[in-house]
Amino acid sequence: MKVDTFFQNFELLTDAPNAVAKLRELILQLAVRGKLVTQKDDDEPASFLLENIETEKKKLIKSKRIKKIETLPINKDITFLFKLPKKWALIRLGNLVEKLGAGSTPLGGKNVYVDDGVKFLRSQNVWNDGLNLEEVAYITSEIHQKMSGTVVEAGDILLNITGASIGRCAVVPDDFDEGNVSQHVSIIRLINKDLRHYLHLCLISSLIQNQIMEVQVGISREGLSMNRLKDFLIPVPPLAEQKRIVEKCDRLLSICDEIEKRQQQRQESIVRMNESAIAQLLSSQNPDDFRQHWQRICNNFDLLYSVPETIPKLRQAILQLAVQGKLVRQEFDDVALRYLIERITEERLALCPNEKDKQRILSEFEKILEESSQGKTEEFEIPAICICDFITKGTTPSNSELLPEGEIPYLKVYNIVNNKIDFFYKPTYISKTVHTTKLKRSVVFTGDVLMNIVGPPLGKVAIVPDDFPEWNINQALAVFRPVDSVYNRFMYYALSCYATLEKVLNETKGTAGQDNLSLEQCRSLRIPLYTIETQKRIVEKCDRLMSLCDTLEAKLKQGRDSSEKLMEVAAKQVLTA
């Protein structure tokens, strides 16, 4: 595929994941390989440009304005990533500069920053699209003068050389007044500043970024040394071609920005529309309102669920409708309610709860019967402790008791994948002895419902499968074992609903950045109360709708995968043309 053909179909390739970022990378690759603009016969060869730079550098060294930078020689048989176009030349970065060095930190560090003064540039101020001075620090003129070796000038190139932002690079604008720079940023000051914009493109392209990632140094924190940086190989086009490259790159990268902005606006608009439609559906006051709002979603289904970000919202809406009793027709009269409560109470008390729990169970059911006698006919909720004969959390054995092979499978939070148990992802076992003694409290069986209670995120839920007759769990998981009149798959869907957890999330206990659900909070989670027949109808409907969500996600993934493959093929054709 020719370059012109590729760019004529630019927007057709932007549906792939991270497509715009990949387009930017491709533009830069084409630029530094000489494939973005045409070479012209009347362009002066890059060798002339480099000879002039070398002459000027010798003058500067002779006048002791700069120090000589020793670089590795470039042999004729040196292997480079691609064949250089006609009139291009290859040179070490150190041979292009009059200054190449890291910044420094003022004595006293942050304590010497002032509210106003000389700008002190740090890595967070350096971005590929320019300097960001919103959170710039300042130092006094006196400190700035003491740090004369790291003064920043207009036309310098700044390159981050440590930390997560290593490789980010910016050209200091022509209207920059004065500044200094920290030790996490290097200053690249060219002998011929006319090269600065092309060199900036080169530095942020994968050609140089890959070199940066390959030669990082440092044990506790990645870093790039000046000794390595000076020997980076730079492909240099004629100066006139550099200008054409920079102009075309600026134009194409600007188009990328516009495409990215439109995509983001479209996605945000779809997400807002979906949230609004679901909010109206969930707040429906009567069946007619519900049907009207559901029809609105159906009429706009292809649009509302054309981006993956809306599918989780749809899943949660389905679960919330389920626990609200709006997915299936309710058949719940006073006689059926009393019969259900009698059965659950009998089943629950037969399990011999302690006196405190017994009184709580009887009290909760009495409240429901009283509400029913006052005319309430729907949306009854009951604490989980009233409908489960067992709610507890796991236990953690010693490291020596955790085995790669053994008799009893031992589950951790990472074994819950997509709300299913995936035990054979990092399987761990314990012995039968540990299982029946030290960890006997946390024995779980096929059909039990598990939920993680240490986050974020909280609320990963799964049903224990029948791969093994008995299992055990660690302390980050809680087990819910419902009585016979409560369908375990209904319990699974009820616990998966964010609305079930929402009522206790504000009360969670944990360290900063971590939310924990206590056992008491687990036992107090409010679960909707329906007959076993209604529970099964709800589960059947949920299963069908969740399957629809799975199909939607698979369809979106397939479409994006196809776009990504098309993008890769097109990019490869352009680079090898």
Per-residue pLDDT, 546:
92
Q: State the Cα–Cα distance between residues 207 and 34, nearest whole angstrom.
A: 13
Per-residue pLDDT, 220:
43
Q: State the Cα–Cα distance between residues 480 and 485, nearest whole angstrom.
A: 14
Any domain includes 142: yes
Q: Which of 237, 257, 277 is the last residue of a domain?
A: 237
- What are 376-414's pLDDT values in tens digits? 666 788 999 999 988 999 988 999 999 999 899 999 999
Q: Which residues are CB-neighbours of 39 under 8 A, at least 6 positions away?
A: 85, 86, 87, 237, 238, 241
Total domains in the fold of the chain = 2
Per-residue pLDDT, 512:
46
Any domain includes 372: yes
Any domain includes 500: yes
Residue 235: phi and psi, rounded to 5, are: -80, 125
Full-model pTM: 0.74
- In this structure, the answer to whether residues 233 and 366 fall within a common structural domain is no
Lowest mean pLDDT among 2-16, 450-464, 478-492: 2-16
Any domain includes 34: no
Per-residue pLDDT, 14:
67
Q: Which of 237, 258, 281 is the last residue of a domain?
A: 237
Per-residue pLDDT, 331:
61
Domain of residue 399, CATH code: 3.90.220.20
Per-residue pLDDT, 375:
72
Buried b (16+ CB within 10 A) or exposed e, 182-192: bbbbbbbbbbb
Per-residue pLDDT, 222:
61
* E-assigned strand segments in 287-440: 381-383, 388-393, 408-411, 416-417, 420-421, 429-430
Q: Return the DSSP state at 403.
A: B
- In this structure, the answer to whether residues 231 and 380 fall within a common structural domain is no
Any domain includes 404: yes
| Mean pLDDT computed over 332-340 | 79
Which DSSP string do the residues of 477-495 spell out, in sequence order? EEEEEE-TTS-HHHHHHHH
Pairing of strands 381-383, 526-528: antiparallel
Residue-range definition of the domain harbouring residue 138: 44-237
Per-residue pLDDT, 79:
66
- What are 431-449's pLDDT values in tens digits? 999 999 999 999 999 999 9
- What's the mean pLDDT when you consider all of the chain? 88
Per-residue pLDDT, 8:
65
Q: Which of 185, 216, 237 is the last residue of a domain?
A: 237
| Nearest to 158, CA basis, from 142, 144, 169, 147 | 169
**pLDDT surpassing 70 at residue 73:** yes
Q: State the Cα–Cα distance between residues 272 and 435, nearest whole angstrom.
A: 49
Buried b (16+ CB within 10 A) or exposed e, 437-470: ebbeebbbeeebbbbbbbbeebbbbbbbeeeeee
Sign of the four-CA dihedral 411, 415, 420, 421? negative
Sign of the four-CA dihedral 304, 305, 309, 311? positive
- What are 391-400's pLDDT values in tens digits? 999 988 999 9
Per-residue pLDDT, 101:
94
Residue for token digits 């940023």? 185
Any domain includes 283: no
Which of 19-33, 230-244, 271-285 is predicted most confidently? 230-244
Any domain includes 201: yes
The encoded tokens of residue 42 equal 């009347």
